[in-house]
Chains A and B, each alone.
Chain A
Amino acid sequence: MKAIYVMWLRQLIRFWRTKSRIVASLAQPILFLVALGFGLGPIYAKSGAGNYIQFLAPGIIGMSILFTAMFAGMEVIWDRQFGFLKETLVSPSSRFSIFLGRTLGGATVALIQGIIIFVITLAIGFRPENVILLPVALVFMFLLAFIFTALGTALAIKVEDMQAFPLIMNFIIMPVFFLSGALYPLTTASGPIKTIALFDPLSYQIDAIRSLLTGVANFGLGLDLMVSLMCAALVTIMGIYFFNRVEV
């Protein structure tokens, strides 16, 4: 328990001390929000689908969480380079708690990032329909953060290579993001995209966040929650498996 807490705390302290990174990592989602929102917005409205910013904002919140979460794995790679990983792995604290603490810490950071983007979307013109459901949306934002932090962390302990890691991350993040329905409605997307999106875990958290904030649902909250929990369990098992077997 204590190990989980200190691993979590360490991630937050490190996040807080590198504020320049926070600002830098906000740039990309804001760019997407502004360029796509105001660029495609008029066409979207013309097609009769309504306000694009209203549709896009939950997707961009999800995107910022996804990116921050996956790159939390980079911290594992750095810790390996600077030797600190060994200090944690040689301690009597279980590998389970080391992994879980790291993941919870990274997920909390990603969630904070998502909340900052949420506030920015409000400034740009996003209007959530139902503020009372915001805490439930936060639960899904956290699930999203947790799933992809765990995935990034698990892959990082396996990959080991400082140069290869960002490439592999982009290789995963880009399709996960673009095929998830973050940018366009899946209901009107063409067949193959619709089918692929079913197998994209991100689709379900984005759907949940969107339906809670704007009332537009695709899969339904029940399915969203079930798939998200299953994914979370799966990546946790994978991470613990890798952490238990890693030799440094």
Chain B
Amino acid sequence: MSSPIIDVRNVVKKFKKFTAVDKVSFSVDKGEMFAFLGPNGAGKTTTIRMLTTLLKPTSGKIEINGFDPLTEQQRVRSSFGIVFQDFSLDNELTALENLRFHAALYSVPKKLAEERIHHLLKLVDLWERRNDFIKTYSGGMKRRLEIARGLVHHPKILFLDEPTLGLDPQTRNTMWDYIKKLNKDEGMTVFFTTHYMHEAEKYANRTAIIDHGKLLVMGTPDQLKKKTKTASLEEAFLKLTGHGIRDESSKSIDALRTAAKSWGNR
């Protein structure tokens, strides 16, 4: 049970002069719920992008499910499901079409895919709306559908990048209950980021806090509280990362846009 499914060793990512991720090392065990916390621009999304083969690290070593994202991309990509920070559904397609499309991209056999899609859409309460276009969906419905989509190919790891951003408490709680249940029943490893500290406190087995690209601490929420002599994870978080307000500008897509003015990063 305790062999690491995500293993990160001394990973560095530099964008020109800016170091987004600075010698980060950690590992996540099979079946764990792992919370990756940090203020805006701390390097969370950059790390997820490296773990999910969307970005190449400047240096360091990553292993996902025993595979290297640099040389065994296909195998790594089959190992995980992901819910991105920004929505990533096709608005011109229906919910059912979006899931079928995903199943085809992940080579899930048709019959099996239909069974799973049926089951998952029921699970996230979208079965009745399956033939509606995504453009008619609310933010919460899109999120639930994305989670369902991330599970169609039965991944070993589920990455969730601020999955509850902008959702109401009802949706947030139901969503976390689904995820917790999947984690328990299927032994699926969950790697998530969030700004809601109580979510990490409640659902994570272990937590890491990152800031300015550096990993500050790692441990169970209780260990972190003990270490910082605070009563809650939120206080521990603020004690470690300070009270200064961070710039929002380092959201991945903005960074991309500035980095790649028209003819792109040379």
Q: Is the CB of A2 within 8 A of B107?
A: yes
Question: A residues within 8 A CB of B256?
Answer: 160, 248
Task: Tell me the dominant secondary structure on chain A's binding face.
Answer: helix
In this complex, the member of A86, A87, A159, A164 whose beta carbon has the largest number of chain B beta carbons within 10 angstroms is A87
Question: A residues within 8 A CB of B89?
Answer: 82-84, 87
Q: Is the CB of B104 within 8 A of A160?
A: no
Question: B residues within 8 A CB of A90?
Answer: 52-54, 77, 82
A190 → chain B, closest Cβ, in Å?
A: 33
Question: A residues within 8 A CB of B53?
Answer: 90
Interface set, chain A 1-25, CB cutoff 8 A to B: 2-3, 5-6, 10, 13-14, 17-18
Given A82-B88, A86-B54, A247-B55, A164 contacting B93 (CB threshold 8 A): no
Q: Is the CB of A3 within 8 A of B104?
A: yes
Question: A residues within 8 A CB of B91?
Answer: 82
Question: B residues within 8 A CB of A161?
Answer: 257, 260-262
Does A51 make an interface contact (CB < 8 A)? no
Does A168 make an interface contact (CB < 8 A)? yes
Q: Is the CB of A2 within 8 A of B84?
A: no
Q: Is the CB of B87 within 8 A of A82?
A: yes
Q: Is the CB of A87 within 8 A of B102?
A: yes
* Residue from B78, B92, B262 within 8 A of A168 (CB atoms): B262
Q: Is the CB of B90 within 8 A of A84?
A: yes
Does B97 make an interface contact (CB < 8 A)? yes
Q: Is the CB of A87 within 8 A of B88?
A: yes
Interface set, chain B 57-87, CB cutoff 8 A to A: 74-75, 77-78, 82, 84, 86-87
Complex Cα–Cα for A247 and B260 (A)? 11
In this complex, the member of B54, B78, B92 whose beta carbon has the largest number of chain A beta carbons within 10 angstroms is B92
Residue on A with the closest CB to B105?
A91
Question: B residues within 8 A CB of A83?
Answer: 84, 86-89
Given A2-B104, A10-B101, A93-B105, A158 contacting B263 (CB threshold 8 A): yes
Q: Is the CB of B77 within 8 A of A158?
A: no
Q: Is the CB of B107 within 8 A of A247?
A: no
In this complex, the member of A17, A79, A91, A161 whose beta carbon has the largest number of chain B beta carbons within 10 angstroms is A91
Given A18-B92, A161-B261, A92 contacting B87 (CB threshold 8 A): no
* Residue from B97, B107, B262 within 8 A of A92 (CB atoms): B107
Bitwise interface map of B from 233 to 266 toward A, beta carbon under 8 Å scored 1, else 0 = 0000000000000000000000011001111100
Does B196 make an interface contact (CB < 8 A)? no
Residue on A with the closest CB to B159?
A90
Q: Is the CB of A92 within 8 A of B74?
A: yes
Does A94 make an interface contact (CB < 8 A)? yes
In this complex, the member of A17, A18, A90, A94 whose beta carbon has the largest number of chain B beta carbons within 10 angstroms is A90
Does B181 make an interface contact (CB < 8 A)? no
Q: Is the CB of A17 within 8 A of B262?
A: no
Q: Is the CB of B54 within 8 A of A89?
A: yes
Question: B residues within 8 A CB of A93?
Answer: 105-107
Complex Cα–Cα for A5 and B257 (A)? 31
Question: A residues within 8 A CB of B88?
Answer: 82-84, 86-87
Residue on B with the closest CB to A163?
B262
Does A88 make an interface contact (CB < 8 A)? yes
Q: Which residues of B contact A (CB under 8 A)?
A: 49, 52-56, 74-75, 77-78, 82, 84, 86-93, 97, 101-102, 104-107, 149, 256-257, 260-264
The 4 A-B pairs with the shortest beta carbon distances in the complex, nearest first, are A83-B88, A91-B105, A92-B77, A6-B104
New A-B pairs, 18, CB < 8 Å, besides A83-B87, A87-B89: A6-B101, A79-B90, A82-B88, A82-B91, A83-B86, A83-B89, A86-B88, A89-B54, A90-B52, A93-B105, A93-B107, A159-B262, A159-B263, A161-B260, A161-B261, A247-B54, A247-B55, A247-B56
23 contacts between A and B (CB under 8 A): A10-B101, A13-B92, A82-B89, A83-B84, A83-B87, A83-B88, A84-B90, A86-B88, A87-B84, A87-B102, A89-B54, A91-B106, A92-B77, A92-B78, A93-B105, A93-B106, A93-B107, A94-B74, A160-B257, A160-B262, A161-B257, A161-B261, A168-B262
